[in-house]
Structure 1
Amino acid sequence: MKTIALYDGTCSLCKETKRILKKLDWLNKVEWISLQEYEKEPGSISFSRHDLRRELHIITPSGSVKKGYYAVRRLLFLFPASFFISILLYVPFTSILGDPIYKWIAKNRHKFLKKKCDDGSCSL
């Protein structure tokens, strides 16, 4: 079973993140599903619509859910090209900085993508 990554299919930053991470997934370990499609699936794990749009969610093969910084860290761990970088993200206390930085970028993505977010999908 693959890790499932739920991303906002209307968000330019999310789509770009998916594009970059797919290039690193040489072993095809991750299945990318837009949260818009995921929400239509019967019996899917229910998440708050707001939470899904606020940060990346992954569902591991064991069924655990990781969000935001922890999801990105886990994805980087799965890919051979980023494995060693991900090890640094598992050093104790790195999440003290990593998680707030991830949340700040996600919250302010509309500022970074002014030209690509004309439909308002990046503003939460």
Structure 2
Amino acid sequence: MNIIALYDRKCSLCQRTKRTFQKLDWNQKIEWISLQEYEGSQFSALELRRELHIILPNGDVLKGFDAVRKLLVKSPPTVLLGLLLYLPFIPLIGHPIYRWIAKNRYRFLKKTCTDGSCSIEEKN
């Protein structure tokens, strides 16, 4: 069974992240599903848009920085980088950096996200 990565298909950064990881996933261990299509989700849409979620084959869920470093370890070209992110104290800076980028993604992507879909604001 593959890792399932949930991404926001309306977000430019999320689409770019998906494309990048698909190129690195030589062993095809990651299945990308848009959060808009994901059924049976135990997460709110806002929570899913706030950070990347992956579901491991055993059912465990990793989010944000933890999800990114797991995907890096599973991708052959980035396995060493991924392993470095597991060193002690790296998560102390990795989590805040990830949250800051995710929170400010609309500010960085204004030119490619003209409809505001990259914003994490609550959408009805």
| Pairwise TM-score range, normalised by the shorter structure | over 0.9
Residue pairs, 1:71-90, within 5 angstroms: 71-90=67-86
Which runs of no fewer than 5 residues in structure 1 stay unpaired? none
Deviation at 1:95, TM superposition (A): 0.5
Q: What are the ranges of 5 or more consecutive residues in structure 2 without an aligned counterpart? A: none
**Offset at residue 113 of structure 1 (A):** 0.5
Residue identity opposite 2:94 in structure 1: G
More helix by share: 1
SS at match of 1:121: coil
**2:55 matched to 1:52?**
no
Cross-structure match for 1:16 = 16
TM-score computed with the length of structure 1 as normaliser: 0.94
Q: Alpha-carbon deviations, 1:75-118, whole Å to 9, x = none?
A: 00101100000111000110100000000000000111111111
Query: Which of 104, 109, 120 does residue 105 from structure 2 map onto?
Result: 109
* Alpha-carbon separation, structure 2, partners of 1:37 and 1:92: 36
Q: Between Structure 1 and Structure 2, how many residues are aligned? A: 120
Which of these residues, 96, 99, 102, is aligned with residue 100 of structure 1? 96
Residue identity over aligned pairs, in percent, reads 61
The equivalent of 1:33 in structure 2 is 33
AA at the equivalent of 1:94: I
Give the deviation of 1:45 after TM superposition: 3.5
Q: Which runs of 4+ in 1 moved over 4 A?
A: none
Amino acid at match of 1:34: S
Residue 70 in 1 paired to residue 66 in 2?
A: yes
Paired with 1:87 and 1:71, the residues of 2 have a C-alpha distance of: 13
Scaled by the length of structure 2, the TM-score of the pair is 0.94
